[in-house]
Structure 1
Amino acid sequence: MFDKLFEAQQKAGEMKKRLDAITVTGTAEGGKITVTANGNKVLQTVAIDEEFYKEADKEELEELLVVAVNKAMQQADNINQTEMAAMTKDMFGDLGGLGGMFGK
């Protein structure tokens, strides 16, 4: 039992490292706002086009930042779920074909 626990901890650490190395991007207003994050949903950068920044009002800027961040977080979440499914499959196999019961 402890072997499985140790293996799970080790694989989780490896997965975290892989996700740290993956970059996802969310954009809004045709790329005038770009947000990057890693696969662990940690925000890395926010870039706002200078011309857009000069023209936009505070409320518009705040709303579009939320849109861009949510897009990046959704991508990170999708990658995170894919990595988790792969790790689970590696550890437990296909569970004798029962894996299809859970949507995969």
Structure 2
Amino acid sequence: MFGDLMGMMGKLKETQEKVEATKKRLDTVLIDENSSDNLLKITLTANREIKSIQIDDSLLEDKEQLEDYLILTLNKAIAKATQINEAEVSAVAKEGMPNIPGMDLFK
């Protein structure tokens, strides 16, 4: 019984290390999102850290329009990054979890 428990604990620790390594790797995965007319481009990591924002000069003339562009484009980029992040992390976590009946945490 204790051997099984120790084995499971070791596997959980190994899985936790793999999840952390995956999160670190996601810092290098870049997502680019453009506004529909390409006047604004945002690049962020799959861990949702903004790396760059490129704004066309024409947007600098209208503050409200620029704010709207930023909100829409940032939200789209964050949604993409979140989807990638969650898929990658949950795949690694699910792979390393012991098969315990009734504990389907990552379906």
* TM-score bucket (shorter structure): 0.7 to 0.9
Task: Flag as ranges the 4+ runs of structure 1 deviating above 3 A.
Answer: 93-96
CA contact (8 A) 2:48 2:78 kept: yes
Is 1:15 the counterpart of 2:22 in the alignment?
Answer: yes
1:29-48 paired onto structure 2 within 5 Å: 29-48=36-55
CA RMSD of aligned residues (A): 2.5
Answer with 1 or 2: which has the greater Rg: 2
TM-score (normalised: structure 2)? 0.76
Structure with the greater relative contact order (CA < 8 A, sep ≥ 6): 1 or 2? 2
Report what 1:60 is aligned to. 65
- Provide closer, same or farther for how the CA distance between residues 75 and 93 of structure 1 changes in structure 2, counting only shifts above 3 A: farther
In the TM superposition, residue 38 of structure 1 has moved relative to its aligned partner by: 0.1
Unaligned runs of 5+ in 1: none
Output the CA distance in 1 between the equivalents of 2:97 and 2:63.
50
For these two proteins, the number of residue pairs brought into alignment is 98
TM-score (normalised: structure 1)? 0.78
